[in-house]
Chain A
């Protein structure tokens, strides 16, 4: 296994996440895409920490742990906003929630 194996897996996950964010019309599917993007990011941190720094330096893993914490906080707030939007509009399709549009 080389560093490039991990980078390629991570690039594919990132692209799938972007694809989901661009094409899905349901806020929760978009959240799943964002989670894929964050995961690819964390995988990159861990891979670079493994291959490009000396073995005793594990800063990259700690950054990845902070990334997981941020993803958890983001998911909680995201779902709270989705629930509020659903109560207000009765739908969570992002293109239907356009009250600010003139």
Chain B
């Protein structure tokens, strides 16, 4: 009974993610696309919870929904006049893109279905301990210390670069 409920919620999250991602790539109004992207990101956070990645799920909601999505909406507001809210799509491009993505999806699904090492790996429902403490230890006092420092420098570079690129140029 409990297992059935869990399956039901999982498929609900999966459907929510896939359906809203489809809306992101098909809907014509860019603001609507941005809000469907929000639903997709929430759905993926739910899937992280099912993978017992609690810290990752929280980070997904905070960084993606709280940060990147707001950034995207700002971008929409600052670059689109009322006319440019609608996205133009050319028919030939749509056809070609559809064929290419369909071929790619077929390839990926074939690989997923036929790789022996990935078969019969079922979630047996065992509960893992919370991951936050271990992630902190691995990042600050373990093998991921160097990548962590590199990423922090990269964030600083991105910050300075974004501020430099987007400022108004003052000509003397």
8 Å CB contact of B119 from A4, A32, A75: A4
8 Å CB contact of B108 from A11, A55, A75, A79: A11
Task: Given A12-B105, A50-B52, A58-B138, decide whether A66 and B147 contact each other with a Cβ distance below 8 A.
Answer: yes
Bin the interface of chain B by size: 35 or more
Query: Are B121 and A52 closer than 8 Å at their CB atoms?
Result: yes
8 Å CB contact of A25 from B78, B88, B118, B122: B88
Chain A residues, CB < 8 A from B93: 22-23, 25
Q: How many A-B residue pairs have CB under 8 A?
A: 226
How many whole Å from A18's CB to the nearest CB in chain B? 5
8 Å CB contact of B96 from A22, A58, A86: A22
Query: Are B112 and A11 closer than 8 Å at their CB atoms?
Result: yes
Query: Are A68 and B63 closer than 8 Å at their CB atoms?
Result: yes
Interface of A is mostly: helix
How many whole Å from B14's CB to the nearest CB in chain A? 5
How many whole Å from A94's CB to the nearest CB in chain B? 12
Show 25 A/B contacts (Cβ-Cβ < 8 Å), sorted by A.
A1-B7, A1-B122, A13-B21, A14-B104, A15-B105, A19-B97, A20-B24, A23-B97, A32-B37, A33-B24, A36-B25, A43-B47, A51-B121, A58-B131, A58-B138, A61-B135, A65-B55, A69-B154, A70-B154, A71-B64, A71-B68, A72-B63, A79-B71, A79-B166, A82-B75
- Residue numbers of B with Cβ under 8 A of A are 7, 10, 14, 17-18, 21-22, 24-25, 30, 33-34, 37, 40-41, 44, 47-48, 50-53, 55-56, 59-60, 63-64, 67-68, 71-72, 74-76, 78-80, 84, 87-90, 93-94, 96-98, 100-102, 104-105, 108-109, 112-113, 117-123, 126, 128, 131, 134-135, 138-139, 144, 147, 151, 154-155, 158-159, 161-163, 165-166, 168
